[in-house]
Amino acid sequence: AQSVTQLGSHVSVSEGALVLLRCNYSSSVPPYLFWYVQYPNQGLQLLLKYTSAATLVKGINGFEAEFKKSETSFHLTKPSAHMRDAAEYFCAVSDSGSSNTGKLIFGQGTTLQVKP
Amino acid sequence: NAGVTQTPKFQVLKTGQSMTLQCAQDMNHNSMYWYRQDPGMGLRLIYYSASEGTTDKGEVPNGYNVSRLNKREFSLRLESAAPSQTSVYFCASSVELGQNYGYTFGSGTRLTVV
């Protein structure tokens, strides 16, 4: 079965500093990978996704992630944090199995705090 | 606006009461899903429906039932609510796997069982 592990339930950075949120996955087949962001009391918004095209994926709000098959990782980065980036971030992997329908498996989430 | 619509947005139930969470999508997606979100546990799949007329259990189906009424609508029912079902519930729909694969989420239902 596929699974996702997000390293660090809380990450704190200063405004302007590099953001690095870690995600490792396990999958027996080539995965689809996603990062979602959730602002307080809101739903989930897609940041970016990897669907077997380019391994470096650029998303919204200046975020990007690199798919590294050898490390089974899909870490999320942003060069310079803004206060508005404070939110909870979820990494997810598709569980395609033998069907054409992908059930998303989510990590536990990482709360990003941005300090002024 | 195209997307996934969930109702209600908030609900308080007493232990033992029943209720149905409604979800509808207007994107002509075949697949629909119900997730619950709890602090520190991410989102966990309750049930999903790969197509109209089919439903399957996810990771945490106990205490829930679902109905795929038609291609647009996928409802989640709590027959006898328990405090452990206090959570935020998200409905989602998706296109099939491929380059355009992706989920669209509803805005969520915040359920409290007292």
* B16-37 per-position pLDDT tens digit: 999 999 999 999 998 999 999 9
Burial-class residue A63 by CB neighbours within 10 Å (0-12, 13-18, 19+): buried
Per-residue pLDDT tens over the stretch B35-62: 999 988 899 999 999 889 899 999 999 9
User: Does the distance separating the beta carbons of A103 and B45 come in below 8 Å?
Assistant: yes
Per-window interface: A 92-111 vs B, CB < 8 A? 92, 94, 96, 99-109
Distance to chain A for B28, nearest Cα, Å: 15
Q: What is the pLDDT of residues A57-102, one digit of tens each?
A: 999 999 999 999 899 999 999 999 999 999 999 999 986 655 556 6
Distance from the Cα of residue B91 to its chain's centroid = 4
CB B19 within 8 A of CB B78: yes
